Structure 1
Amino acid sequence: MACATALTVATAGFAGGAFAQSLRVGLAEDADVMDPHQARTFVGRIVFTALCDKLVDVSPDLKFTPRLATSWEWAPDNKSLTFKLRSGVKFHDGEPFDAEAVKFNIERAKTLPESRRKSEIASVEKVEVVDPMTVRLVMSQPDVTVLAQLSDRAGMMVSPKAAKEAGANLGAKPVCSGPYKFVERVQNDRIVLEKFQDYWNKQAFSFDKITYLPIPDSTVRLANLRSGDLDIIERLEPTDVKTAKGDANLTTTSAVGLGYQAINVNLANSDRAKTPIGQDKRVRQALELSLDRDAINQVVFEGQFSPGNQYFSPKNFYYNAQIPIPQRDVEKAKALLKEAGVKTPVKFEVTMSNSPRSQAVMQVIQSMAAEAGFDIQLRATEFATMLNEGTKGNFEANQYGWSGRPDPDGNIHAFVTCKGNLNDWKYCNPEVDKLLDEARTISDQNERKKRYDAAQAILAKDLPVITIYHESWIWGLKKSLTGFQPHPDGMIRLENVKKS
């Protein structure tokens, strides 16, 4: 049924030559709300890459590059950041983009009750319009992470007029300024965009219509690509790479990612946190010791990913080498459970995505943990639903991760600070807050790393988030598709991509 549905949707609306060229993109999940100030999903960011232009972008080598801002300059004390803006830019509703629009967007991201960007730009005290095409962000304290935040959803610009009219419901019909504008969305079925003819760089975008199709089953995604009903798929499974490479009509490409996948444990978000694993860090330490991360990587991913135990991969500058990945130790895990005085087997539920990858990972973990005295119940659900339930505290633990950010702050601050907007497990340690807040003010890499090292030493014991692995982004494409450039953030950028 899933395959039939995907095929039907993928081919609908393209007959009759209504569009010169269309692109069909297979996503591993459905996006959540299509408002960059409220959104939190990885696939949502993929759609936003075409829909919502941002002030700056990131190159494949993680350098910041101009988009809606053509240049920027920090004040000597790192307490203000001034942007020169691109002229001649319009929002999809025809409204002009200018410094007032930037001011509105930053203030909306900070004040909209539903905004998930608040902690990302909390240090921005005020926004000053210097002139129509110059805007200055004034910080309450030095914060070198702001530029990186503005290279993602916090820096995406929505039409002030549309946002004022729609309020928190903007996601139902988003109005941005990207190369493609919103047409329609059918939940769990498709998101359709069409080319914006007034885009400032429209000549670099070849397709007249983009359709994003959420297809959680990786086998179905690949089958649709092979049959010609999709043009590109994200997160090609490592186990499918050999098959894709063996197809003369396909090609694959990859990039090492910036993020991580983890088990997140509810510590204080509703009564569902009142479990042994939620209330005693020794139980969480025991669970970690029951895991063999190398075996998980080999069994599930054929060795193509990287085992990990921190918010940064072992190859990242900010990885704390003094906290290596712990080796599996079932006896020590049992001893910790005994010391904690908990009844065994320790029962708890892990909510996970209904994607085959998440299920495969958790089934291996379930088996490993059982040997140490855990009884893990698995509940699969649609990804966006899982995130919504997490926000409400309706989980004991869940399995998902983070796609990663170029600045280390983006991988950790929002997840483990007391008021972090993505801290659904409600972990709170003032010392961790102090260290991570300090790291935001320091431009020297080595000094910043000292703060992250100290914070991770605490987090490695408290374990609100148990990191399991770091993935590589793998894409499958039709060979007729040219110009696609893989990025370590996993986004699908369509600039200069063509179909022959």
Structure 2
Amino acid sequence: MTLKPLHIAVMASLALTGIAAAPAQAQSVLNIGLQDDPDTLDPATNWSFVGRHVLQSLCDKIVDIDAQGQIAPMLATSWEWNADSTALTLTIREDATFHDGEKVDAEAIKYNLDRALTMEASRRKSEISSIANIEVLGPYQLQINLSEPSVPLLAALTDRAGMIISPKAGEELGENFTNSPVCSGPYKFVEHIAQDRIVLEKFAEYHDADNYHFDRLVYRGMPDGNVRLLNLRSGQMDLIERLAATDVPAVQGESNLAVAPVVGLGYYGVTFNITGSGADLDAGKQAAVREAFSLAIDRDAINQVVFEGQFTTGNQPFPPSSPYYDQNYPIPARDLDAARAKMAEAGVSSVDVELLVPTDAERQQVAQIIQAMVGEVGINVEIKPTELMTLLDIAREGAFEAHLVGWSGRVDPDLNITPMLACGAAGNDAHYCNEELDAIMTEARAVGDTETRKAKYAQAIEILLRDLPIVYLYHSQWIFAHNANLSGFQPFPDGIIRLGGVSRQD
């Protein structure tokens, strides 16, 4: 019963926009339902996952990934490392143009990397902090010089750190860039009405414009997965992200709809504020309580109850299928006796923890199961439903005890640890700092050989499972659903919507 008013409100909002006002217009518009409304549309400051969906169509990147998760050309047509991985030379395509008519060239790439490194509000600094300087070698060639070897840098450029904005617009708009973003992607910005819609329009001068078949994209944030699905079924949405695992069988049985899943690169877990109030204990006691918290959880039960067994349980930053997963630390079974022993080690019989949880139904259900499980060992969890963007702001300020948030994952394993847990990193919600871990990660970034890197990550995992700034729980599938008349849609392992080659068949 509670869904019906929400559905009516969303439908009314959609009707007011005129998206489905006439058949001819409907054919040229792709309506996309997202889990949330993005925080910003500036690649340097964006921190929300859903923002990446919009930015993917708005801002081309230096490099991208393909459907297999391998690094692929985008603005850079080729690249080359020097012998010790301290310099990366990029050759830039010569036919790319910003939405304001300015050329994309080596100077523009340099401007963007410098901006990401120096802009006060940038959330990209830790992702590309190894860059010492950038040399422009020619109109379409530049060399990125590093302060230390960092093989993961190229992978970082497949995401927001590699997204390129117009230098002219960046200088003119400054902090207001997010309100009128200008990039070089297949679609250009039209409007963003907060908590309602984001509209992009096809950029006719895009170098690969013939591969993009919609005149307009309309994105809408819909935190309730049931509402997203209702709008897909009604025809108000053409494509939605994060279909609930429990809805997959029903949608698969509907001839006018299609399901497109892909295993993700990231994780979901509970992050604890290490240096803040935490569980209102000193740091040493907190560590034992976090161990008790982890031991009290039945990860497989969460997967079965909430996700119909379609996700993968986990206890590390990488899924068990990853070559970097350390088999010496398998997913622990629930052990209440061991959990109670850890509570005794901390010298407490009960602890109160406030857990911030995004408002979507799945994560609320996960939190409720966790609450019941850890309550059996004296950890009293108070669930505080919090709108995602508000939650991220609170976490950034350190004004929380714990939160249940995921990381979408990256193709290089370093980027599943360093941006969230390196000392002083912008995304380090845990406010955790372990200099030994940082040193190990620095060594791992210096080598390209998988086996050598695996040994380094094993050392890192040992530290993370001892300190537990994040209690890792599971690894999700990205499950998309769309109208069956859409062809060419292919999900990618980073979970980002890509629309090249996607069209509507009558």
| Residue 38 (structure 2) pairs with residue 31 (structure 1) | yes
TM-score w.r.t. length of structure 2: 0.96
**Offset of 1:168 from its aligned partner?**
2.4
Equivalent pairs counted in the alignment come to 497
Aligned to 1:113: 120
Look up the match of 1:327.
Answer: 333
**Residue number in structure 1 paired with 2:286:** 280
| 3-state SS of paired residue (2:382) | strand
**Mapped contact 1:106–1:154 kept (Cα < 8 A):** yes
- Verify the 8 A CA contact 2:278 2:286 in the aligned structure 1: no
C-alpha distance in structure 1 between counterparts of 2:332 and 2:156, whole Å: 32
1:477 aligns to 2:478 (yes or no): no
Which amino acid in structure 2 is aligned with residue 356 of structure 1?
Answer: A
Matched, 1:6 2:44: no
Correspondent of 1:315 among 314, 317, 321 = 321
- SS of the residue 1:194 aligns to: strand
- What is the rounded CA distance, in whole Å, between the counterparts of 1:119 and 1:223 in structure 2? 40
Match of 2:366 among 344, 358, 361: 361
Q: CA deviation at 1:8?
A: 2.7
Give CA-to-partner distance per residue, 1:64-105, whole Å, 9 cap, x none: 111111111111221111111111211111111111100100
What is the TM-score with the length of structure 1 in the denominator?
0.97
Say if 2:67 is the partner of 1:63.
no
CA distance in 2, matches of 1:292, 1:52: 41
Asked if the contact 2:27–2:504 (Cα under 8 Å) also holds between the matched residues in 1, the reply is no
Aligned letter for 2:316? Q
The equivalent position to 2:342 in structure 1, one of 333, 336, 341, is 336
Is 1:377 equivalent to 2:373 in the alignment? no
Pairing partner for 1:98 from 105, 124, 130:
105
- Report the alpha carbon displacement of residue 129 of structure 1 after superposing the two structures with TM: 0.6
Q: Does 1:149 align with 2:156?
A: yes
Whole-angstrom distance in 1 between the partners of 2:274 and 2:256: 49
Hey, what does 2:472 align to over in structure 1?
467
Give the aligned residue type for 2:334: R
1:244 aligns with 2:244: no
Amino acid corresponding to residue 310 of structure 2 in structure 1: Q
Amino acid of the residue matched to residue 420 of structure 2?
A: F
* CA deviation profile, 1:339-359 (whole Å, cap 9, x unmatched): 2112x3311100010000110
In 2: Cα distance, 1:8 partner to 1:358 partner: 27
- Which residue in the other structure is 1:402 paired with? 407
Conservation of the 8 A alpha-carbon contact between 1:276 and 1:283: no
Any conservation in 1 of the 2:93–2:140 contact (CA below 8 Å)? yes
State how far apart, in whole Å, the 2-side matches of 1:400 and 1:489 are. 16
Unaligned runs of 5+ in 2: none
Tell me how far apart the structure 2 counterparts of residues 335 and 226 of structure 1 sit (CA, whole Å): 50
Shift of 1:212: 0.7
> Which residue pairs with 1:159 in the alignment?
166
Q: In structure 2, what residue type is equivalent to 1:223?
A: L
| Residue of structure 1 aligned with 2:138, choices 131, 136, 147 | 131
**For residues 360 and 347 of structure 2, what CA distance do their matches in structure 1 show?**
35
1:169 and 1:408 mapped to 2: Cα distance?
A: 33
| Selected match of 1:261 from 268, 271, 288 | 268
Matched, 1:212 2:237: no
Choose 243-252 or 310-319, whichever is displaced more: 243-252
Higher mean alpha-carbon deviation, 273-282 vs 247-256, is at 273-282
**What corresponds to 1:232 in structure 2?**
239
Q: CA deviation at 1:13?
A: 2.7
Q: Is contact 2:279–2:351 with CA below 8 Å preserved after alignment?
A: no
Deviation at 1:117?
0.7
Distance between the aligned counterparts of 2:350 and 2:250, measured in 1?
A: 41
Query: Do the aligned residues in 1 keep the contact of 2:279 with 2:353 (CA within 8 Å)?
Result: no
Q: Is the 8 A contact 2:279 2:352 kept in 1?
A: no
RMSD (Å) for aligned C-alpha atoms: 1.3
1: CA distance between counterparts of 2:26 and 2:94? Answer: 29
- Asked whether 1:172 is paired with 2:176, we answer no
- 1:10 partner amino acid: L
1:237-277: CA deviations, max 9, x gaps?
A: 110001111211101011111000000000114xx336238
Amino acid across the alignment from 1:32 = D
Alpha-carbon displacement from aligned partner over 1:354-408 (angstroms, at most 9, x marks no partner) = 0001101000000111111111000111111100110011211000010010000
The answer to whether the 8 Å contact 1:6/1:213 transfers is: no
1:338 Cα deviation after fit: 1.4
Determine the C-alpha separation between the residues in 1 that align with 2:341 and 2:149. 46
Which sections of structure 1, spanning at least 5 residues, go unmatched? Answer: none
> Which deviates further from its counterpart, 186-195 or 224-233?
186-195
The alignment-based identity, stated in percent, is 45
User: 2:39 is paired with a residue of what secondary structure?
Assistant: coil
- Larger displacement relative to structure 2 (80-89 or 354-363): 80-89
Moved more, 441-450 or 11-20: 11-20
Summarize deviations over 1:203-256 as a string: whole Å, max 9, x none: 000001101111111111111101111001111111000111121110101111
Q: Distance in 1 between matches of 2:398 and 2:482?
A: 38
Question: What is the distance in 1 between the residues matched to 2:475 and 2:314?
Answer: 6
Preserved contact between residue 10 and residue 24 of structure 1 (Cα < 8 Å): no
* 1:73 aligned partner: 80
